[in-house]
Structure 1
C-alpha cells in the first residue's frame, strides 16, 4: 500500500472508490428496460431512442482525454466533485423533463462526466495502491457492476410502481449524493495524479513516447472498444431480443436482473482470482468462448435455454472489463502514464462502443429481425478472440516500455 495514504484512511478511500464507481452506469443502463416505453411515448424510431445509450458512450470516448487536462489544471479532487455533480444534476433533470431533447442533453453531459472520471480513478488507484492495484481495480469494477445492475434491474420496478418513466430514470441521482459525501469525507485535501519523482520525470520526459504511437496501446484500445460494445449492446438490447422470442416484458426484466445480479458477484470475485492466477490470455479465451455458447443458446428462442444463456453471459460481462482495465496498469510504471494510457484506451474504445448499439438499432429498423442482432454479438466475441492472441500474455512493465509495445 502506498505511503501517501494513512492506513486508517485506506479502507474509507476504497469504499469511496466503490461509491463513485456505482454512479458511472445507472444513467446509461436504466434506459434499456425503458427503451420500448420511451419510444412509444415520444413516438421515436429504434435508432432515435438508441441514441440515449449511444450518445453517452460516444462522449465517454470523445472526452476521455479531458481527464489528464483537468488533472493538471484543477486537480483530481475538484474534477471528481464537478463530474459527480454533473451526473447528479443531469440524472435528476430526467425526472422533471421527459421530452426527447432534454434526454439527449442529459445523455451527452453524463457521458462527458463518466469520460473524465474513468481514467482519473484508474490513475489514482495506481498511485495510491501500487501493490494492490488489481484488487482495488476489482472494487472499482464491482462498483460499476453494481451500478449497472441497479439501473438495469430496478428501473422497471420503479416504473411499474409509479407509472412514470421520468421518475424511474431520475431517481438514480440519489446515488451521487452518497458519492459526493464519501469523497468529501475520505479525500480531505487537494489531490492530483503525479509522477514518481523529479529525477524520474526528467529521465522519462526525454525518452517518453505517447501511447498513441505504441502498437500494444492500440491493441488495448480496440479490445476495450469491443468489450465495451458487447456490454452496452447486450444491456441495451437483451430485453427486446428475448421479448421478440416470446418472453413477456416482466420475464425479460427478470432475466436481465438475474444476469446483472450474477455479474455483480462475479465482478468482485474475478479480480481476486486474477491476482493469484494472472494468466490474462487463458481467462480471456475462457470468457469469450462462454459468450459464444451463450449467444448460441439465445438463438434457439427456447425459454429454458435463454435462462441458461443469461448465466453464461454474466461471466464474460463480469470478467472482460476488469482485465481490460488492468491492461494500462500492466504496461506502465507511473500513475501519470497509467492516466495517459487509460485515457487513450477509453477515448477510442468508447467511440467504438457508442457506434455498435446504434448500428443494431438501424439494422433492426430496417429488417425487423433480431437474428442480425445476435450475429453482431457473436462477431464481437470472435474479433476479441483474435485480438487476445495478438495481445498475448502479460508482460513486465519495463519490458513493455523498452520495446514500445
Structure 2
C-alpha cells in the first residue's frame, strides 16, 4: 500500500504543475461571490423582501455556518463522497444556488439559496488545503497564497460588479445570479484536469478527527477570530457607508478596494515568509495592520476611508493565508494535515459566521456600527497574545497533547 501511495503521490505532483495551479485558482474564485454580492445590494434586497438587519445577516451567517459544519463532517463524509465527486458536487451546488437567485422573489427563498451555496462552498474549501499539501508539498505557502488571492479576488469582483449588473438589467436578482457562470467554468476545469483518484490515496485521506486535540481547538478558534473581520466587512461595510450617504456602487467599491489589498497580501506573504518557518512575527505584524484599519474605521470613517479599508484588507488577506499555512505546518503527512485544516476551518467558520450576526445585532441595538468595529478590534488584540504560542519547535509536542 505504501508503494502504491508513493507512486500515486509522485504522479499527482508531476501532473499538477501550472494546470493544477489553474484549477486551484478556478476553485478559489467561486468561493466568495455568494457572500460579497449581497452587501452592495442589501438596500434593494431588504426593500423587495422585507428582511430586517438580523434577517439579512443570515445571508452571510448561514453559508459560513455551513462551511464550518461540512468541514467538521469531512472525516466521515469525505471517504464516501470522494474528492472528485465532492468538488463537482460543491460547484454544482453553487451553480444551482446562483440559478435559483436569478428566479427568486422572496426573503425565504434567498436565505435557502444561501444555505445551498454555502454547502457547496463548504465542501470545496474543506478539500482544497489537503489537495494543495499533496500537489505542492514543497510550495505550500506559495500555492496557498495563490488560492487565497483567487478566493479574495472572486469576492471583490462580485462586490464591484453585482450592483453594476443589477443597475444595467434593472433587477437585483441578476447581480446575485450572474455568478453561475464562473461556477460552470470551474466545474469544466475540474472535470478536465483533476487527477485520477486511487484507492490507496482515498484511504490516506480518511482517518480520525481532532476533537480531542487542544492544539487543534486553539488553531480553530484562532482561525475564526483573526478572520472574523472579513465576514463582518462583507456583510456590513457597504451598509455602513450607505447609511453615511454613499451610493450602492461607491459602497460596493470599498469591498473591491479591500479585495485588492487582500490579494496583494496573499501574493506577497509567501515571498516574505519563505526564509523562515516561524510564522509568529508576520502574524503579529498583519494583526497590527488590521487593528490600525479598524481604529481608523471607528474614529474617522469619513476621513481617508480608503486607507482604513486598505489596511483592513491587507491584514485580513495575510491572516487568512498565514493561518492556513500555520495549520498545515503542524503535520507533515498531507492526509493528516488536510484533515487538521478541515477541522480548523470547520470550527473557525462557525465562529466567523457568528461574528457578523453579533455585529449586526449590535448595530440594531445601538443604531450605528461603532460598537461593532470596537468588538472586531478587541478580537484582534486578543489574538495578538495567542499568536505568541505558535513556536515551530513546539508543533509536534502540541499535536500529541
Q: TM-score, normalised by structure 1?
A: 0.90
Q: What CA deviation, in whole Å up to 9, does each residue of 1:17-63 have, x standing for no partner?
A: 11011111111111111222211221221000110111001111112
Q: What do you get for the CA RMSD once the two structures are aligned?
A: 2.3
* Distance (whole Å) between structure 2 residues aligned to residue 245 and residue 41 of structure 1: 22
Counterpart mapping for 1:149-164 below 5 A: 149-164=156-171
**In the alignment, structure 1 residue 50 sits paired with structure 2 residue 49:** no
1:195–1:375 distance in 2 versus 1, CA, 3 Å: same
* Distance (whole Å) between structure 2 residues aligned to residue 195 and residue 95 of structure 1: 37
For the residue of structure 1 that corresponds to 2:64, the secondary structure is helix
Number of residue-to-residue matches in the alignment: 393
**In the alignment, structure 1 residue 179 sits paired with structure 2 residue 215:** no
The one of 93, 100, 115 aligned to 2:100: 93
* Distance (whole Å) between structure 1 residues aligned to residue 80 and residue 203 of structure 2: 19
1:100–1:83 distance in 2 versus 1, CA, 3 Å: same
For the residue of structure 1 that corresponds to 2:392, the secondary structure is coil
Displaced runs of 4 or more, over 6 A? none
For the residue of structure 1 that corresponds to 2:196, the secondary structure is coil
Q: What CA deviation, in whole Å up to 9, does each residue of 1:248-288 have, x standing for no partner?
A: 44432232222212322322222232223443111111111
The one of 120, 123, 148 aligned to 2:155: 148
**Contact 2:68-2:346 at 8 Å conserved across structures:** yes
The one of 383, 387, 391 aligned to 1:393: 391
**Contact 2:210-2:340 at 8 Å conserved across structures:** yes
The one of 75, 88, 106 aligned to 2:82: 75
Task: Look up the match of 1:361.
Answer: 360
1:330–1:188 distance in 2 versus 1, CA, 3 Å: closer
Task: Look up the match of 1:243.
Answer: 242
Shift of 1:6: 5.8
1:114–1:193 distance in 2 versus 1, CA, 3 Å: farther
When structure 1 is superposed on structure 2, of 235-244 and 297-306 the one drifting more is: 297-306
For the residue of structure 1 that corresponds to 2:337, the secondary structure is helix
* Distance (whole Å) between structure 1 residues aligned to residue 10 and residue 251 of structure 2: 48
Shift of 1:100: 1.2
User: Runs of 5+ in structure 2 lacking a partner?
Assistant: 1-5
When structure 1 is superposed on structure 2, of 13-22 and 331-340 the one drifting more is: 331-340
* Distance (whole Å) between structure 2 residues aligned to residue 241 and residue 27 of structure 1: 20
Q: What CA deviation, in whole Å up to 9, does each residue of 1:117-162 have, x standing for no partner?
A: 1221111111222111121111211111111111222112112222
For the residue of structure 2 that corresponds to 1:212, the secondary structure is coil
**Contact 2:298-2:374 at 8 Å conserved across structures:** no
Task: Look up the match of 2:69.
Answer: 62
For the residue of structure 2 that corresponds to 1:276, the secondary structure is coil
* Distance (whole Å) between structure 2 residues aligned to residue 9 and residue 133 of structure 1: 13
Shift of 1:321: 0.2
Task: Look up the match of 1:382.
Answer: 381
User: Runs of 5+ in structure 1 lacking a partner?
Assistant: none
Q: What CA deviation, in whole Å up to 9, does each residue of 1:82-113 have, x standing for no partner?
A: 11111111111101113112111111122222
Task: Look up the match of 2:125.
Answer: 118
* Distance (whole Å) between structure 1 residues aligned to residue 346 and residue 228 of structure 2: 13
When structure 1 is superposed on structure 2, of 262-271 and 211-220 the one drifting more is: 262-271
* Distance (whole Å) between structure 2 residues aligned to residue 242 and residue 127 of structure 1: 43
1:12–1:249 distance in 2 versus 1, CA, 3 Å: same
**Contact 2:258-2:314 at 8 Å conserved across structures:** no
Counterpart mapping for 1:198-237 below 5 A: 210-237=209-236
Shift of 1:210: 4.5
